[in-house]
Amino acid sequence: MTEHQTLTREGTQTSHYLDTWWSRELIGLPLALWRLGFGPLTGRVWMVVTTRGRSTGLPRHVAVYPHVIGDRIYLWCPYGGRSQWYRNIVANPVATVQWRGGTQVVRAVPLEDEAEAMEVVGALRRFAASWFGLYLASQGLHDTDEDIAANWQRLHLRRLEPTTEKGPAPLTSDLAWVWLVPASALWFRWFVREHSA
């Protein structure tokens, strides 16, 4: 068995098609906005997923685009098996999610069967066909129903299920105070101008 085949089978094949500077910066933007106090706005689109670090057990935050199919919510990791948040959620499935103004503890579970996987694949194709095709290619898969159906368990997908378990601490707006700096500067400028007239 070749090294390429071993990586593919173990689900650790990389997805270097997203390794661009703008992609890395874009991924961190929703978290930065959330910390600055724009959670209600950011949470309309992005879901903040907090996992537990595999080694440290500390909260690790990431912004993920959730995919809703019926009454179920799915997460897709386009980076494949090398993604830290995906590896964390596989090792420790209980996570805390913040989305659309709410915070909930969930368990990220594997898909049940091929039929469910193909339903999610259909949604991902409608969401971003070319992007999903690049992901499949990075995993050594062909963008055909036959190949995907035969290898659906290799897809980096998880379904979110509610749970009463205790999850990691959610992301907070710990940088919202930053806005006080320009606000205070403007107030001071106005105060000086008014009292020096």
Q: Could you tell me the CA-to-CA distances from 191 to 77, 141, 177, 178 in Å, in that order?
A: 51, 65, 21, 21
Q: Could you tell me the CA-to-CA distances from 99 to 103, 166, 170 in Å, in that order?
A: 7, 18, 11
Per-residue pLDDT of the chain (197 residues; tens, 9 = 90+): 333 333 333 344 445 545 665 556 567 788 888 878 887 888 788 999 999 999 999 999 999 999 999 999 999 999 888 899 999 999 999 999 999 989 999 999 999 999 999 999 999 999 999 999 999 999 999 999 999 999 999 999 999 999 999 999 999 877 766 656 665 556 556 656 766 75
Classify 107 as helix, strand or coil: strand
- Which residues does 195 contact at the CB level (< 8 Å), separation at least 6? none
Q: Where are the domains of the chain?
A: 3-196
pTM above 0.85, yes or no: no
CA distance linking residue 195 with residue 121, whole number of Å: 65
Helices of type H across the chain: 3-10, 21-33, 39-42, 84-91, 114-138, 145-150, 180-196
Q: Is the domain 3-196 a CATH 2.30.110.10 member?
A: yes
